[in-house]
Structure 1
Amino acid sequence: MAYTIGKVAERVGLSTYTLRYYEKEGLLPGIQKNGQGIRIYQEDDIFWIELIKCLKETGMSIADIHYIVELSMEGEHTIPQRKQILNAHKRQLQEQMEIIQRSVHKIDKKIEWYDGKTKECE
């Protein structure tokens, strides 16, 4: 199935400008164009866009995402390197989640203290 940039933007929740930017930055190197120069996206392209969106939303830089794309284009022999990058990013996210969970707990305790539900504010 083929999609236009507008349909893809709507489906993944990004603007057409962002999709063009990702393509310009080399994050979407395989986007095909029809005879009129209109971008035609395939399901595989949408998978990559969703992965890029996920990585961006979780703080990965465009440069690091670009490196993953480059490695992907080199072939399957780069899978260990790509996994290493993703595992490192995942560890960072897990550390951030632990910090956020501790912070939420501290804030909850302060709210309980304000509400008079506890005499101590941890």
Structure 2
Amino acid sequence: MTYTVGEIAKKLNVAPSTLRYYDKEGLLPFVERSAGGIRVFHDTDMDWLELIECMKHTGMPIKEIKHFIDYCVEGDSRINERLSIIRNQRDRVLVEIENLQARLSMLEFKTWFYEQAQANGTTSFYESLTPDDVPVEYHKYFERKWRADKEAAEKGESPKKYRAV
């Protein structure tokens, strides 16, 4: 089956201008043209387009995607380079996933914190929390406070007041 730019753009959920841009940048060397010069896409082109979109969404610049496509066009002599590009991008994504997990963890903690504040009617509820009062997965967010409170107690001082954020 064949598709127009508009039809394939709809399937990929991208603007037709995006596909035209990809073609202009040399990312679509496989796309045929009709006798009238109109781009004609086939079902088999979807694999290429999905990979291009995947790479783009992982932050790979168009120029690097172009290098990858060029290596694909060159054939089996460039398998090592293609594998290297894919591995590097995979590693970038893994780092990004770790960073997103850390952000999600902070947001989960803050959700818990503000739910507790809402239930207590104040954010200052946490001043007297002990490790037994806090779910284990959120201890890392209280360690500085608990350490400072312990040091103050050892010096015979009052615990420092904290402002909730």
What is the alpha-carbon distance in structure 1 between the residues aligned to residue 14 and residue 99 of structure 2?
Answer: 29
Pair 1:44-2:47 in alignment: no
Deviation at 1:62, TM superposition (A): 0.3
Helix, strand or coil for the counterpart of 1:41? Answer: strand
What is the alpha-carbon distance in structure 1 between the residues aligned to residue 46 and residue 61 of structure 2?
Answer: 20
Tell me the TM-score normalized by structure 2: 0.69
**Alignment of structure 1 residues 109-120 onto 2, 5 Å:** 109-116=109-116, 119=129
The higher radius of gyration belongs to 2
Deviation at 1:2, TM superposition (A): 1.3
Identity within the alignment, %: 33
**Larger displacement relative to structure 2 (44-53 or 64-73):** 44-53
* Matched pairs, number: 122
Q: Hey, what does 1:87 align to over in structure 2?
A: 87
**Alignment of structure 1 residues 53-64 onto 2, 5 Å:** 53-64=53-64
Q: Give RMSD over aligned pairs.
A: 1.6
What is the alpha-carbon distance in structure 2 between the residues aligned to residue 53 and residue 60 of structure 1?
Answer: 10
Unmatched segments (≥5 aa) in structure 2: 118-125, 142-165
Deviation at 1:30, TM superposition (A): 2.0
What is the alpha-carbon distance in structure 2 between the residues aligned to residue 30 and residue 97 of structure 1?
Answer: 32
**Larger displacement relative to structure 2 (2-11 or 18-27):** 2-11
Q: Hey, what does 2:147 align to over in structure 1?
A: none
Deviations 1:54-111 (A, max 9, x none): 1111101001100001101111121121011111110111011011111211221122
Tell me the TM-score normalized by structure 1: 0.92
What is the alpha-carbon distance in structure 1 between the residues aligned to residue 5 and residue 107 of structure 2?
Answer: 43
Q: Hey, what does 2:150 align to over in structure 1?
A: none
Deviation at 1:43, TM superposition (A): 2.1
Q: Hey, what does 2:120 align to over in structure 1?
A: none
